[in-house]
C-alpha cells in the first residue's frame, strides 16, 4: 500500500451529495420564492449549479490520494491549496468501516480513522474504497510490527477462546423495537414535516380535508388516531430492526469489535483502554419486563459514530444476563452491585418537587384554555409528577467497592454507572440553602467523554456524611 491510490469513482457521487446537502436549505428557499412566476429560471440556475457541483466533485476526487508508508497513513488532498496529512499508526485509536446502501450495492465501504485528539469529525475519512481494500487497510494500520508465525491447528481454537462473540436474536430485536419508545420521536418528526409540507398543499384541498375530519364522529376520529399511532409504532419497530439488525459484539485482545445494521452496515472498533465507564439503562417501559441496554462511555472519538455520545455494547438483554455479559467482554466491570446505599428518606420531598413543575404548567395552561379537560393534567400531575419523583428518590444510590464506584440515578430511564477511580477526572459537591437545612448535598463525578468533552454523573440530595465519604474516597492517593 505504499503507492498512492485514489478513492473509488463512487466517491464523486458522495462528494456531490455532501455539496448539495450543504446548499439544500438555500435550494428549498429558492423554490418557495420562485415557484410561481420564475420557476423556469430557477430550474435553469439549479441545473447550472448542479453541473458546477459535479465538476467540483470530480476535481476533489482526482486530487485526493492516500497511501501507507513508514508506519504512517499519508493523505494528500486539496484543489487550489495542496494539503498533506500524516497519521502515525501509534496514534490511531480506532478504525471503523461503514457501508450504506450505495456502498453495499457497489461492494464498497467508508473507512473512518480516529485518534486520541479527534474532535467532531474523524481524523481521516475515506468515503469510498473497495470492501476488501478497506479491511486490508484496517488490518495494516492496526499492525504494530511483525508477529511470529506459528503453524499449529490448535491456535485456531485458542484464538476463538480469546475472542468471545455474542449476537442478538431476532426475538430480542423485535422486543427492543416494541419497547424503544421511538414513537414520540417519529411523531415529532412527522409533525415537523407536515408543518413544512402544509404550505405546498393546495388551500382548497387542505380546507376541504379539515372540514371532512371535523365532520367525522368522535368514534371514527379515535379509531383513525389509534391506527396512526399503530402505524408509527410499526415504523419504530422497523427502524430499530434496521439499525441493530445482525448486531454482533466480539472481544479481541485489546478492543471490542461491533458490527450492526441491515441497510447501513457499521463496523465499530472500541479500544478497551478508552472505556471510561460502563452503564446499564432500564427504560420506564423495559424495566417492568426485565430488559436493559448496556452501553459504554468512550474517551475521545468523534460524533461520526452516531451513537449520541455513548456506544451501545448490546441493545437489549435480560437484567440477570448483564453480569455474565460483562464477565465475558469486560471482566473488570463484572460483579454488578444490586444493593446500593440508598438516599435518605428526608430527600424524597426534593425529588417530588423537582418532578412536578412541568405538570403544573400543563395544568395551568389547560385550565386557562380548555377548562373542561383540567382533569387530564391533574391525573398526570398525581401519577406522573408525584410518581416520577418517588421513583427517582427510590432508585438513587451509590456503592463503593475498592477503587470502583457504582452509582444509580433516574431521569425517565434508570441508569446504573460503573466507573473506576483512575477514570474520574473531577469531583464536585454542592449545597443550596434548603439542602443545608436538611443536612443534604449534591455530588457530581466527571469523566472524559466523546470529543474529549466532560461527561457528568450527578446524585442529588445525599446525606452530607455520604458526600464526605465519596470526597475522601476520591481524594485518596496511594
- Residues 311-361 have pLDDT tens digits of 899 999 999 999 999 999 999 999 887 789 999 999 999 998 888 887 777
pLDDT at 385: 75
Q: Which of 122, 114, 104, 102 is nearest to 14 (CA)?
A: 102
R_g (Cα) of the chain, nearest Å: 27
User: pLDDT band at 150, cuts 50/70/90?
Assistant: very low
pLDDT at 415: 95
pLDDT at 321: 94
pLDDT at 129: 93
User: pLDDT band at 117, cuts 50/70/90?
Assistant: low
**Does residue 305 or residue 448 have the better pLDDT?**
448
C-alpha to C-alpha distance for 148 and 125, rounded to whole angstroms: 31
Condensed to tens digits (0 to 9), the pLDDT of residues 197-213 reads 555 555 666 566 656 65
Q: What is the phi-psi region of residue 452: left when phi exceeds 0, alpha when psi lies from -120 to 50, beta otherwise?
A: left
3-state SS assignment for residue 425: coil
3-state SS assignment for residue 359: helix
Mean pLDDT of the chain: 82
Contact at 8 Å (CB) between 95 and 113? yes
Is residue 458's pLDDT more than 90?
Answer: yes
Between 62-71, 186-195, 262-271, 361-370, the lowest mean confidence (pLDDT) is in: 186-195
User: pLDDT band at 101, cuts 50/70/90?
Assistant: confident
Condensed to tens digits (0 to 9), the pLDDT of residues 52-64 reads 999 999 999 999 9
Contact at 8 Å (CB) between 445 and 456? yes
Q: Which of 330, 312, 329 is nearest to 173 (CA)?
A: 312
3-state SS assignment for residue 247: coil
Average pLDDT over every residue of 393-413: 93
Between 89-93, 206-210, 301-305, 345-349, the lowest mean confidence (pLDDT) is in: 301-305
C-alpha to C-alpha distance for 446 and 262, rounded to whole angstroms: 35
pLDDT at 327: 94
Between 87-101, 331-345, 353-367, 454-468, the lowest mean confidence (pLDDT) is in: 353-367
C-alpha to C-alpha distance for 419 and 422, rounded to whole angstroms: 9
Is residue 409's pLDDT more than 90?
Answer: yes
Is residue 162's pLDDT more than 60?
Answer: yes
Q: Where are the beta strands (DSSP E) in 168-228?
A: none
For residue 332, CA distances in Å to 72, 298, 323, 335 come to 33, 16, 11, 9
Q: Could you give the strand order of the β-sheet that contains 72-77, starting from the edge strand earlier in sequence?
A: 65-69, 72-77, 83-88
C-alpha to C-alpha distance for 21 and 308, rounded to whole angstroms: 21
Count Cα neighbours of 190 within 13 Å in the Cβ-side half-sphere.
13
Is residue 161's pLDDT more than 80?
Answer: no
C-alpha to C-alpha distance for 424 and 310, rounded to whole angstroms: 17
**Does residue 310 or residue 277 have the better pLDDT?**
277
- Residue 309 parent element (H or E): none
C-alpha to C-alpha distance for 439 and 461, rounded to whole angstroms: 9
User: pLDDT band at 302, cuts 50/70/90?
Assistant: low
Average pLDDT over every residue of 270-278: 91
pLDDT at 463: 95
Is residue 195's pLDDT more than 60?
Answer: no
Contact at 8 Å (CB) between 438 and 349? no
Q: How many other C-beta atoms are found inside a 10 Å radius of the C-beta of residue 429? A: 15
Is residue 369's pLDDT more than 50?
Answer: yes
User: With 0-12 CB in 10 A as exposed, 13-18 as middle and 19+ as buried, what is 179?
Assistant: buried
**Does residue 267 or residue 337 have the better pLDDT?**
267
Average pLDDT over every residue of 433-441: 93
pLDDT at 149: 41
C-alpha to C-alpha distance for 130 and 8, rounded to whole angstroms: 7
C-alpha to C-alpha distance for 253 and 162, rounded to whole angstroms: 7
Is residue 436's pLDDT more than 70?
Answer: yes
Residue where the block lists cell 423556469: 40
Residue where the block lists cell 426475538: 171
Please tell me what DSSP assigns to residue 450.
B
Q: How many other C-beta atoms are found inside a 10 Å radius of the C-beta of residue 202? A: 8
pLDDT at 443: 95
User: pLDDT band at 120, cuts 50/70/90?
Assistant: low
Amino acid at each position: 500500500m505504499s503507492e498512492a491510490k485514489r478513492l473509488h469513482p463512487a466517491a464523486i457521487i458522495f462528494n456531490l451529495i455532501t455539496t448539495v446537502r450543504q446548499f439544500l436549505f438555500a435550494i428549498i428557499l429558492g423554490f418557495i420564492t420562485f415557484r410561481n412566476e420564475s420557476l423556469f429560471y430557477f430550474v435553469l440556475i439549479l441545473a447550472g449549479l448542479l453541473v458546477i457541483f459535479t465538476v467540483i466533485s470530480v476535481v476533489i476526487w482526482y486530487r485526493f490520494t492516500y497511501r501507507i508508508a513508514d508506519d504512517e497513513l499519508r493523505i494528500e488532498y486539496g484543489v487550489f491549496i495542496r494539503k498533506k496529512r500524516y497519521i502515525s499508526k501509534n496514534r490511531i485509536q480506532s478504525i471503523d468501516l461503514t457501508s450504506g446502501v450505495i456502498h453495499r450495492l457497489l461492494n464498497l465501504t467508508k473507512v473512518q480513522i480516529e485518534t486520541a485528539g479527534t474532535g467532531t469529525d474523524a481524523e481521516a475519512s475515506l468515503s469510498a474504497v473497495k470492501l476488501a481494500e478497506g479491511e486490508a487497510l484496517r488490518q495494516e494500520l492496526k499492525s504494530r510490527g511483525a508477529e511470529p508465525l506459528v503453524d499449529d491447528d490448535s491456535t485456531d481454537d485458542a484464538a476463538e477462546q480469546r475472542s468471545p462473540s455474542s449476537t442478538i436474536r431476532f426475538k430480542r430485536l423485535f422486543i427492543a423495537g416494541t419497547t424503544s419508545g421511538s414513537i414520540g420521536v417519529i411523531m415529532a418528526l412527522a409533525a415537523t414535516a407536515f408543518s413544512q409540507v402544509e404550505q405546498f398543499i393546495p388551500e382548497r384541498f387542505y380546507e376541504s380535508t379539515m372540514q371532512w375530519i371535523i365532520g367525522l364522529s368522535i368514534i371514527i376520529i379515535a379509531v383513525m388516531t389509534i391506527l396512526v399511532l399503530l402505524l408509527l409504532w410499526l415504523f419504530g419497530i422497523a427502524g430499530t430492526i434496521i439499525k441493530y439488525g445482525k448486531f454482533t459484539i466480539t472481544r479481541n485482545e485489546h478492543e471490542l469489535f461491533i458490527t450492526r445494521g441491515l441497510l447501513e452496515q457499521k463496523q465499530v472498533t472500541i479500544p478497551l483502554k478508552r472505556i471510561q465507564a460502563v452503564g446499564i439503562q432500564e427504560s420506564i417501559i423495559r424495566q417492568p419486563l426485565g430488559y436493559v441496554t448496556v452501553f459504554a462511555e468512550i474517551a475521545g472519538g468523534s460524533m461520526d459514530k452516531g451513537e449520541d455520545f455513548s456506544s451501545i455494547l448490546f441493545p437489549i438483554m435480560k437484567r440477570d444476563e448483564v453480569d455474565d455479559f460483562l464477565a465475558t467482554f469486560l471482566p473488570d466491570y463484572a460483579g454488578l452491585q444490586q444493593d446500593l446505599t440508598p438516599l435518605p428518606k428526608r430527600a424524597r420531598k426534593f425529588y417530588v418537587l423537582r418532578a412536578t413543575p412541568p405538570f403544573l404548567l400543563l395544568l395551568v395552561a389547560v385550565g386557562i384554555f380548555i377548562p373542561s379537560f383540567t382533569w387530564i393534567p391533574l391525573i398526570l400531575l398525581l401519577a406522573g409528577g408525584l410518581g416520577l419523583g418517588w421513583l427517582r428518590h427510590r432508585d438513587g444510590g451509590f456503592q463503593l467497592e475498592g477503587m470502583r464506584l457504582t452509582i444509580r440515578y433516574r431521569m425517565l430511564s434508570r441508569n446504573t454507572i460503573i466507573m473506576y477511580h483512575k477514570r474520574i477526572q473531577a469531583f464536585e459537591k454542592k449545597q443550596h440553602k434548603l439542602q443545608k437545612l436538611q443536612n443534604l448535598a449534591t455530588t457530581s463525578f466527571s469523566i472524559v467523554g466523546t470529543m474529549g468533552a466532560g461527561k457528568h454523573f450527578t446524585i442529588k440530595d445525599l446525606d452530607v456524611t455520604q458526600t464526605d465519604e465519596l470526597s475522601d474516597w476520591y481524594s485518596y492517593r496511594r
